[in-house]
Amino acid sequence: MWASPTIGLHVSFQGLRQLDALSSDKIEDLGEASAYVKKAAVICGTSDPALLPGNLEARLAVAELDAAKDRDKLVSDDQVAEAFNFMSDEFQVPHPARLTASDILQYRSVQASIFPHIFSPKTVSGSRPIGTIVMLYQLWFNGGVTEGVRKAALLDRPPGSLKLRTSSATSRLDRNPNLIGREYQMAGYSYFNQRTPQQIGSFLDRLTGIIGLPNGN
């Protein structure tokens, strides 16, 4: 998905701000959930949501509606950690980071201090499906939870309390001297470039199964 022939997912800081604003709207029915997923896909770099593999868009919409109605349907930190570790194994990263639920909780709580509507704060028991996808992308891009994030977690900032200028935030998010992060990026790009659309679809089926997306049928 991150580097498939049809999708070039990349979320800039400005894109994250747009997505956070979009994610602040309440979802009350499947139509609103579907509209949210379509708009989120465009913000995340997919100009045509119809290019999303299989029924992924429909599954995300159902999952978003379920999570809006019942917080027990949020994606757990254990599921996110398992999904990331699955990606590490599938991409055959030379020096994989092994994440736990505690790592995921730490990561999303820091991100929630900047984007409180995409990422759930630590007072919430899990993550929204779209937030989970964005989080997995960021964890892949950075090679797991960086030392900077771990230090920021110690500050225990409230949700939405950290206001960053676009220029400074872009340099923090897009410039990546982390060697493990580069290993993850290269391994991911190589993986998708060598896979057929069917193989990529199989990968996504397993990944979305780990995070518990409904079938959407």
Q: Answer whether residue 3 is part of any domain.
A: no
| Residue 25 contacts residue 2 (beta carbons within 8 Å) | no
Residue 164 token pair:
């960053």
Q: Which of 11-15, 159-163, 211-215 has the lowest mean pLDDT?
A: 11-15
Structural tokens at position 115: 């984007």
Residue 7: inside a domain: no
Global pTM value: 0.88
pLDDT confidence of residue 5: 36
Give the pLDDT mean for 12-20.
Answer: 91
Whole-angstrom distance, CA of residue 104 vs CA of residue 106: 5
The more confidently predicted of residues 10 and 21 is 21
- Number of other residues whose CB lies within 10 A of the CB of residue 80: 26
Residue 188 placed within a domain = yes
Q: Who's near 213: CB < 8 A, 6+ residues apart?
A: 56, 59, 60, 62, 63, 129
Q: Is 57 within the bounds of a domain?
A: yes
User: What is the domain extent for residue 143?
Assistant: 13-210
Does some domain include residue 35?
Answer: yes
- Local confidence band at 177 (pLDDT 50, 70, 90 cut-offs): low
For residue 5, is it within any domain? no
Compute the distance between CA of residue 99 and CA of residue 77 in angstroms, rounded to an integer: 10
Q: Note whether residue 215 is domain-resident.
A: no
Q: Is pLDDT above 60 for 9? A: no
Residue 127 lies in a domain: yes
Domain count, the chain: 1
Q: Give, rounded to a whole angstrom, the gap between the first and last alpha carbons of the chain.
A: 21
Q: Residue 138: its pLDDT value, please?
A: 93
pLDDT of residue 193: 93
Please state, in angstroms and rounded to a whole number, the distance separating the CA atoms of residues 19 and 202: 27
When comparing pLDDT for 118 and 49, which is higher? 118
Instruction: Report the alpha-carbon angle 217-69-29, nearest 5.
Output: 60
Q: Cα separation of 175 and 61, whole Å?
A: 32
